[in-house]
Amino acid sequence: MSILRIDGRACDELRPLKFDVDYLSHPLASVFISNGNTRVLTAVSFEDKVPSWMKNQKVSGGWVTCEYGMLPSATTERCRREAAAGKQGGRTVEIQRLIGRSLRMAVELEKLGERTFYLDCDVIDADGGTRCASITGSSLALAIGCKRLFPANENPFKELVAAISVGIINGTPMLDLCYAEDSSAEVDMNVVMTESGKLVEVQGTAEGAPFSRRELNDLIDLAEHGLKQIFVRQREILESI
Amino acid sequence: MSILRIDGRACDELRPLKFDVDYLSHPLASVFISNGNTRVLTAVSFEDKVPSWMKNQKVSGGWVTCEYGMLPSATTERCRREAAAGKQGGRTVEIQRLIGRSLRMAVELEKLGERTFYLDCDVIDADGGTRCASITGSSLALAIGCKRLFPANENPFKELVAAISVGIINGTPMLDLCYAEDSSAEVDMNVVMTESGKLVEVQGTAEGAPFSRRELNDLIDLAEHGLKQIFVRQREILESI
Amino acid sequence: MSILRIDGRACDELRPLKFDVDYLSHPLASVFISNGNTRVLTAVSFEDKVPSWMKNQKVSGGWVTCEYGMLPSATTERCRREAAAGKQGGRTVEIQRLIGRSLRMAVELEKLGERTFYLDCDVIDADGGTRCASITGSSLALAIGCKRLFPANENPFKELVAAISVGIINGTPMLDLCYAEDSSAEVDMNVVMTESGKLVEVQGTAEGAPFSRRELNDLIDLAEHGLKQIFVRQREILESI
Amino acid sequence: MSILRIDGRACDELRPLKFDVDYLSHPLASVFISNGNTRVLTAVSFEDKVPSWMKNQKVSGGWVTCEYGMLPSATTERCRREAAAGKQGGRTVEIQRLIGRSLRMAVELEKLGERTFYLDCDVIDADGGTRCASITGSSLALAIGCKRLFPANENPFKELVAAISVGIINGTPMLDLCYAEDSSAEVDMNVVMTESGKLVEVQGTAEGAPFSRRELNDLIDLAEHGLKQIFVRQREILESI
Amino acid sequence: MSILRIDGRACDELRPLKFDVDYLSHPLASVFISNGNTRVLTAVSFEDKVPSWMKNQKVSGGWVTCEYGMLPSATTERCRREAAAGKQGGRTVEIQRLIGRSLRMAVELEKLGERTFYLDCDVIDADGGTRCASITGSSLALAIGCKRLFPANENPFKELVAAISVGIINGTPMLDLCYAEDSSAEVDMNVVMTESGKLVEVQGTAEGAPFSRRELNDLIDLAEHGLKQIFVRQREILESI
Amino acid sequence: MSILRIDGRACDELRPLKFDVDYLSHPLASVFISNGNTRVLTAVSFEDKVPSWMKNQKVSGGWVTCEYGMLPSATTERCRREAAAGKQGGRTVEIQRLIGRSLRMAVELEKLGERTFYLDCDVIDADGGTRCASITGSSLALAIGCKRLFPANENPFKELVAAISVGIINGTPMLDLCYAEDSSAEVDMNVVMTESGKLVEVQGTAEGAPFSRRELNDLIDLAEHGLKQIFVRQREILESI
């Protein structure tokens, strides 16, 4: 493809990707992921109890949940601090539910023991794709955390997951949208996949005009193409721990 | 297909669908939709001002937003009243954002004038698929409301949208899941489409195990099959107003 | 009396009254009451625990509480959704306390067992008198629920209660005010009574000018006149269950 | 009557009543009312604007509103501080709405000018009847405040109001209940009256068993008897200002 | 010093100080402190449990905590009621944390038993120095409460504390600032001390311009001078109980 | 001094200090400060309006305010996310008020124009002294921001401020406490100073036992000794921008 993108990338090209492991002193594991100018600090902690609804329903095993946040200074215009506003916005709630669901697919909950794992995803710098970077980063952090916490033969971690955004801009499908692209996309899609190539979540949203089945397929193809490269990078780091 | 479902339907069969127009005395338009045992009261109201962010960003035209709620007695176990709890839950927030986005695709915002349209979707009785019934019902209500409010040649309503849930249960794709099916589905998908057959939202979620591209396609096929029948019903009613 | 009311009724005439039993699929009992154009969905559910203050004070038996709400589209001008606003308004709080107190007089709390009964009163369509319709409807629903839950000789339900609004408009006492009448009333009174003719709550409020003892008495007479007819209707249905 | 009450009073006897005018340095007027061991600090302030709903509805004149609170140490068992709990309880809301309604009957709103008057009623020490003491105290404070703020010929204050509690204990109607009496009353009633002897609010509540019309009448008689004495005391002080 | 202050005091002169013991009927002990026109009602209550964090950390003994509030009518301009606003303001939070910390220094927590002591400090009338009056008053109330609750040889109360404000106004250090002085001070300092002359808290804040070490020392000298007189007064009363 | 500290430092020795300028893409200026293992991201943004109280009081010029937060994974035990909890804790409120006050001393508010400057201080990793690091970092960020925004002759920035913690541990005064030292300190003090050596805030708190005037003086001496070194570092960087 010869269409030039805002930052000079090809349409099927990822932004530079970097994982900084154990960036933080205290949690079980942490991964500071940079995806272009988007930087998200993901961390895994746990406590030895499960949510009360699990107790009430007598579900055995543990739970994985996510909390997502954005520093007020992470965006072009300073965004309001949710702690000061006294509530999390709708976008935040939607995103942290997506991350939580996705990561629960990466582990066998019943092998976690009576524990709740917290995935904290805090956006330090935002340039599009923060929910996908959060999933990709916290998936690696959770894999590392499980490796540390459990003996190899009891490891509840099943499979790495990763996520990438794709979209259609001026009629052309593009991979890994930066903020400027995301804002002008006609269709916006987030694809969460497992390392073995299966789908965990597909969320496609028409922004300007509805889309066809064919466009849907092209976008998922493009996402798969990018996710394969991401899994190679995650795998490399996980093996080295 | 010869697999029998809980309620005796074929796998590609919708539940009985009923639209009760102008069920309410006061709003511009209302549709009380029954989809099997799921019943949702959808209503359209408007006020002559737009959200403050629109004013600040000097976007012209109007806005469409949705508020979704569930009566505490609509569910098997009484669910907590969100007004008494002092906040809307994450599921509610996620659903009303989805409905709002979907319905904004049905109209030309710039033709709405300086108005905010509220879609109130209140679940009276829940048996699965409440967000889809909300979209299907409020789409019809919004179409009717626009017909009443605007001269034909200035009608901002572009196209009907509708939504249906599909899922994979015991390896079999099924259409229009009831609650018992939804709870045991391996994959759960909501598809929002336009009357002309294009996609507005696709939200597929692996519940038990990740899914393949082929399964994704089968599910969307099934959804299309159901949605075509729904559009016939919506259209009939809209023409009769 | 020859004064004509807005809707053509005589001053001592009730609006058409209808009870739709078991309108809902899930709760122990539900009554959808229509009182003229006012429609309220009342439902009874219970859970096997009591409020913590009862435990602390070692009160034996159970508890009955009410939650009242209004659909945003139930009123002439769309009213704000309390769940979205993050709190119940003062009017809501006042009303649900009145309903709860009134219905606790209908049962023997100590015979309820360690249970909390929830009366959910949700206004679907409002045209005045919603608190009274809520009491009348939920009283029947609670009677039906108790009949279902307890053996006849242990039934904690003592006596039906019902409520009606009365008021003075242009100097004339009138029964069962609709919204337009309620808004212009000089005095507004809600009377809650037992089937045996005793008073449970009397709440009289001067809206325009204070009222005399004689007016108070006339209003209660009028309320009694209406309530007797309501008890006949409740009784009929209760016997038929 | 020869029945002896807890504190030795006759059944139709008020507790000692004291008004301490201008107890506070800052507000327009304040009255510290002692009714037996119940002590409530009532104060009147105003600001030069009206609530936004008045502006929207283009109602002319001003508004009177009440805020009621209780010091945590005012009760036998320390009660929770509502500011720390983050919300006003249902009882508080119900009481301050009653006080506000009652005092709005004491003035001509349209003569207040574009002002909101705040009646702050803070219970310093509680021994039953705090809402009645709040009305009686703030009525005097509002009368004094209006006298100070307006020229005599433009004074919007119409008439003093006062309130007293009455109840039935062991079958006997009693006036001005203290907390111990209030807790064991079968019927509990609050009567708000004007100096000219008309009713502003009547709120009678069955606590243990429903009550008859005759009991209702006896209670209002008793209340009138007490209120006449209170008006004499209010009047004396008001004249002396 | 010959500089005349607003109220005619010398620069090193306290305002009139008065302690009214057991002003309230219900709590374990209460002190109504008047410091010039500043009046604060301080009360001590307790309950037989400790905060959950103490239980979790297995800290033995009890806890002392403070809640501070201001009546809306205590200030020149009516201040917003925090219970109605739904949250305590930052100033309130800061002040009650200071009072709590200071009073915890007055007792041996491990001797309190499994109890939480509440210090309620409610400002009835404000004219500067409310946090200092709160500490001085509640220190005496806590001393009296402990004397009542514990046998002399198990009394957990170690030592009286008291607090005073000092500040620099037009370059001159002054003791015990009233509101008008406080508003125009260049430096504002609160000093909390023990009866034996040691420091518990020193909080000095530059308001207009930063201050020198020498000024800091002068201010603490002045505070010590005032606090010695206050301890004499507290001691007198405590001995008389 | 020959006493060895936990991390091998001398008693009057600072932890390694690092300033990373413009760590963030979007705000006017940002400084990522590392003070030993404590790392705080400070950022300066502004908007072209002032708080409503300034407008009401007709104060001219601008305002500087601070919001402080801590990532949940910044502490040894994961701390609760305040946005999810729905409110900022008391400690957070206290700290951000201190930072705001301190930084307002660094600028001439009336020269800021009708603008509000936000200092966002987000703790990424906590090991004691986060409020002091926040002040030191945001002071530099604000200085840089002003240099960028204003012409040199209209620069409202007056003077750098910086802060350091000091404390007494086992009777010995120590500089720049890490978390383990802070937890066991008998006295804990934060000193905020200007580059010219004057005091902005002094907050000394007895944790275990009250302290003497002499100890107070020793601690401020120690703080001054450390702050002088910090000002050299801030100045260097500011000159290089």
Under an 8 A CB cutoff, do D83 and E78 touch? no
Nearest to residue B167, comparing CAs of B159, B179, B156, B157? Answer: B179
| Mean per-residue pLDDT of chain D | 95
Closest CA of chain A from F225, distance in Å = 29
| Mean per-residue pLDDT of chain B | 95
Give this complex's ipTM.
0.94
Tens of pLDDT, residue by residue over F152-165, are 999 999 999 999 99
Joined together, the tokens standing for residue F38 give 């404590």
How far from E52 is each of A239, D23, E64, E116, CA to CA, in Å? 42, 41, 14, 11
What DSSP letter does each residue of A126-180 carry, written as one string?
-SS-HHHHHHHHHHHHHHHHHHHHS-GGG--B---EEEEEEEEETTEEEES--HH
Tens of pLDDT, residue by residue over B215-231, are 999 999 999 999 999 99
CB C109 within 8 A of CB C57: no
Give the per-residue pLDDT at B1. Answer: 45
CB E23 within 8 A of CB E89: no
Q: What is the Cα–Cα distance from B213 to A217, expressed in whole angstroms?
A: 9
Nearest to residue D205, comparing CAs of C199, F200, C5? Answer: C199
Joined together, the tokens standing for residue B100 give 């709002």
Closest CA of chain C from D100, distance in Å = 12
E212 neighbourhood in chain F, CB within 8 Å: 198-199
Under an 8 A CB cutoff, do F72 and A26 touch? no
Mutate which of F79, F82, F203, F227 to disrupt the E interface (most E C-beta within 10 Å)? F203
F227 neighbourhood in chain E, CB within 8 Å: none
Tens of pLDDT, residue by residue over E134-162, are 999 999 999 999 999 999 999 999 999 99
Q: What is the Cα–Cα distance from D128 to E169, expressed in whole angstroms?
A: 48
How far from F46 is each of A147, C119, E237, F31, F63, CA to CA, in Å? 44, 51, 54, 16, 10
How far from C231 is each of C135, C137, C236, CA to CA, in Å? 12, 11, 8
| Mean per-residue pLDDT of chain F | 95
Residue of chain F whose Cα is closest to the Cα of A117: F78
A-B CB pairs within 8 A amount to 83
How far from A9 is each of A15, A16, A227, C83, CA to CA, in Å? 8, 10, 17, 46
Under an 8 A CB cutoff, do A71 and F118 touch? no
A84 neighbourhood in chain F, CB within 8 Å: 67, 88
In chain B, % of residues over pLDDT 90: 93
F213 neighbourhood in chain E, CB within 8 Å: 199, 220
C122 neighbourhood in chain B, CB within 8 Å: 71, 73
Q: Which residues of A touch B (CB under 8 A)?
A: 87, 90-91, 93-94, 96-97, 101, 105, 193-194, 196, 198-206, 209-213, 216, 220
Give the per-residue pLDDT at D57. Answer: 82
Under an 8 A CB cutoff, do B92 and C83 touch? yes
Tens of pLDDT, residue by residue over B149-203, are 999 999 999 999 999 999 999 999 999 999 999 999 999 999 999 999 999 999 9
Name subunits touching E (3+ CB pairs < 8 A). D, F
Under an 8 A CB cutoff, do D199 and C211 touch? yes
Amino acid C131 reads: R
CB C65 within 8 A of CB C75: no
Going by their DSSP bridges, the two strands D38-47 and D63-70 should be labelled as unpaired
Closest CA of chain B from A23, distance in Å = 30
Any idea which residue has 């003996």 for tokens? A151
Give the per-residue pLDDT at D1. Answer: 46
C217-225 average pLDDT score:
97
D124 neighbourhood in chain E, CB within 8 Å: 24, 41
CA quadruple A165, A168, A172, A173: dihedral sign:
positive
B-C CB pairs within 8 A amount to 100
Nearest to residue C138, comparing CAs of C122, C119, C123, C156? Answer: C119
Tens of pLDDT, residue by residue over F12-39, are 999 999 999 999 999 999 999 999 999 9
The torsion region of residue F182 among left (phi > 0), alpha (psi -120 to 50) and beta comes to alpha
Under an 8 A CB cutoff, do F88 and A92 touch? no
Residue of chain D whose Cα is closest to the Cα of E122: D71
Q: What is the Cα–Cα distance from A94 to B92, expressed in whole angstroms?
A: 10
Tens of pLDDT, residue by residue over F52-109, are 888 888 888 999 999 999 999 999 999 999 999 999 999 999 999 999 999 999 999 9
Longest dimension (CA), chain A: 58
Under an 8 A CB cutoff, do D203 and C199 touch? no
Residue of chain F whose Cα is closest to the Cα of A78: F45
What DSSP letter does each residue of B158-222 carry, written as one string?
---EEEEEEEEETTEEEES--HHHHHH-SEEEEEEEETTS-EEEEEEEESSS-B-HHHHHHHHHH
Give the per-residue pLDDT at E2. Answer: 55
Q: How many helices (H) and strands (E) does chain E have?
A: 6, 9
Residues (pLDDT < 70) of chain A are: 1-3
CB D119 within 8 A of CB D6: no
How far from E16 is each of C138, E140, E168, E226, E230, CA to CA, in Å? 61, 17, 21, 12, 11
Q: What is the Cα–Cα distance from D156 to D107, expressed in whole angstroms?
A: 5
Q: What is the Cα–Cα distance from C102 to C118, expressed in whole angstroms?
A: 13
Neighbours of A228 (CB within 10 A): 13
Under an 8 A CB cutoff, do E206 and F213 touch? no
Q: Which residues of E touch F (CB under 8 A)?
A: 87, 90-91, 93-94, 96-97, 101, 105, 193-194, 196, 198-206, 209-213, 216, 220
Give the per-residue pLDDT at B3. Answer: 66
Tens of pLDDT, residue by residue over E194-234, are 999 999 999 999 998 899 999 999 999 999 999 999 999 99
Tens of pLDDT, residue by residue over D188-223, are 999 999 999 999 999 999 998 899 999 999 999 999
CB C62 within 8 A of CB C53: no
Tens of pLDDT, residue by residue over E11-23, are 999 999 999 999 9
pTM: 0.93
Q: What is the Cα–Cα distance from C163 to C160, expressed in whole angstroms?
A: 10
Joined together, the tokens standing for residue B47 give 């006020």
Name subunits touching F (3+ CB pairs < 8 A). A, E
Closest CA of chain A from B210, distance in Å = 5
CB E210 within 8 A of CB F105: yes
How far from E174 is each of E17, E134, E164, CA to CA, in Å? 17, 20, 11
CB D142 within 8 A of CB D106: yes
- Burial category of E188 from C-beta neighbours within 10 Å (exposed 0-12, middle 13-18, buried 19 and up): buried
Any idea which residue has 């096929």 for tokens? B221
A65 by DSSP, 3-state: which?
Answer: strand
Neighbours of C100 (CB within 10 A): 21
Mutate which of E65, E73, E79, E122 to disrupt the D interface (most D C-beta within 10 Å)? E73
- What Rg value do the Cα atoms of chain B yield, rounded? 18
Q: Which residues contact E233 (CB under 8 A, 6 or more apart)?
A: E17, E19
Under an 8 A CB cutoff, do A204 and B201 touch? yes
Residue of chain D whose Cα is closest to the Cα of E72: D120
Asked if the model's pLDDT at residue D2 lies above 60, the reply is no
Under an 8 A CB cutoff, do B193 and A210 touch? yes
Q: Nearest 5°: CA angle at A89, between F116 and A43?
A: 95
Tens of pLDDT, residue by residue over B125-164, are 999 999 999 999 999 999 999 999 999 999 999 999 999 9
Closest CA of chain F from A15, distance in Å = 16
Beta strands in F75-170 (DSSP E): 116-125, 161-169
Closest CA of chain D from C199, distance in Å = 5
Q: Which residues contact B34 (CB under 8 A, 6 or more apart)?
A: B16, B17, B18, B20
CB D51 within 8 A of CB D63: yes
Any idea which residue has 């057991």 for tokens? E22
Closest CA of chain D from C91, distance in Å = 8
Asked if the model's pLDDT at residue B4 lies above 80, the reply is no
Closest CA of chain B from C5, distance in Å = 20
pLDDT bucket at D159, cuts 50 / 70 / 90: very high
Distance of CA F47 to the CA centre of its chain: 22
C192 by DSSP, 3-state: which?
Answer: strand
| Mean per-residue pLDDT of chain C | 96
Tens of pLDDT, residue by residue over F195-216, are 999 999 999 999 988 999 999 9
C124-135 average pLDDT score:
98
Asked if the model's pLDDT at residue B18 lies above 70, the reply is yes
